[in-house]
Structure 1
Amino acid sequence: MAGIDAFGTQFARSDMAETDPVFETIANVTDISGPSREREQIEVTAHDSPDKYREFVKGLKDGGSVELTLNYDPDSSTQQLLDDDFEEDSLRDYRVVILPGTAEEYTWEFSALITALGDEFPHDDKAERSVTVKITGKPDLSLTGV
């Protein structure tokens, strides 16, 4: 396969119920980026490193972030939940669902906190909201298709 059509990808948040948590899809998301995982590099270069090249070993991994862009609607109940998530002190579970409702559906699941909310109101374009969701721990990608 050469690629997939990303249209319909969803970002959802958990209600954090102890048993059978419910994930609610956030409305009017136009762009989703991430998770953007990273790994530290630890330099171990020494005076006797071969051919005067720096040497590295693998360090800690970072689950990264998910970046969202939304058509901002202050009346949207799901968008208001993001404001609530920003204000709370505890972590929350989120999902990015790729190809939802298909046999090829994949889901990223992770615990995270919202680190940034930004609203834009240009004089000649739509109102937008940008959201940065910082992942804590390891994000998990799994085939969840039916």
Structure 2
Amino acid sequence: MMSDQFILYGATVERSTDGTTWEDIPECKSIAVPAVETDYQEATSLDSPDGFKEYVKGLKDAGVISLSCGYTPAGYEQQLSDQAETAAIYYRTTLPPAPSQSSGDVFEFRGFPTPQPEGSDVGGIVGMTISIRTTGGVDWTRGTAAGA
């Protein structure tokens, strides 16, 4: 049986202010896919069975994620403009297709970006990290199966 794993090369990370017109984030070196965590609220009472703590599910949060990019003046300008927006920015990450797929999985979410240029040394490439404070849920759409 052949593995269904694949490399990241060919993925895209896009942004939009309206959720309709999408534009690539230039020079991305990583992908933006939030991990949703759920808070658990302690609900232990005097009659909790056998002295064990009890919990109930609380609110969910996709947290803050970091997107690694190469710095370009156009990319930095794009991110500064997005940071100045009042409403959350739409993000879409499309993975390359797995060997069993004809199109890759898609992740969509919203968030507030903070760009930060960075460099490591005099001979290194100038990079940029975009910290995205997510808001709301994360939608996942499975890619189309090969031959479908």
TM-score range, shorter chain: 0.7 to 0.9
Aligned residue identity for 2:139: D
**Secondary structure of residue in 2 paired with 1:32:** coil
In the other structure, the counterpart of 1:132 is 131
Kept in 1: contact 2:33–2:107 (CA 8 A): no
TM-score (norm 2): 0.79
Q: Which has the higher strand share?
A: 1
In the other structure, the counterpart of 1:72 is 71
Q: 1:65: how far off?
A: 3.5
**Separation in structure 2 between the aligned mates of residue 142 and residue 67 of structure 1, nearest angstrom:** 22
Q: 1:142: how far off?
A: 0.7
> Identical aligned pairs, as a percentage?
26
Aligned residue identity for 1:122: S
Aligned residue identity for 2:70: N
* RMSD of Structure 2 on Structure 1 (CA): 2.3
Q: 1:95 to 1:106 in 2, by over 3 A?
A: same
Q: 1:33: how far off?
A: 4.7
Kept in 1: contact 2:32–2:93 (CA 8 A): no
Kept in 1: contact 2:44–2:54 (CA 8 A): yes
Greater Cα offset, 40-49 or 8-17: 8-17
Q: 1:91 to 1:117 in 2, by over 3 A?
A: same
**Separation in structure 2 between the aligned mates of residue 97 and residue 65 of structure 1, nearest angstrom:** 19
In the other structure, the counterpart of 2:56 is 57
In the other structure, the counterpart of 2:102 is 103
Q: Does 1:113 align with 2:115?
A: no
The 5 A counterparts of 1:5-84 are 5-16=7-18, 21-74=20-73, 77-84=74-81
- Any unmatched runs of 5+ in structure 2? none
Q: 1:67: how far off?
A: 1.7
In the other structure, the counterpart of 1:90 is 87
Kept in 2: contact 1:39–1:60 (CA 8 A): yes
Aligned residue identity for 1:24: E
* Paired residue total: 139
TM-score (norm 1): 0.80
**Separation in structure 2 between the aligned mates of residue 39 and residue 106 of structure 1, nearest angstrom:** 23
Question: CA offsets per residue over residues 87-133 of structure 1, 9 Å max, x none?
Answer: 12122211011116x6141111122221x322212224221111111
**Separation in structure 2 between the aligned mates of residue 137 and residue 48 of structure 1, nearest angstrom:** 36
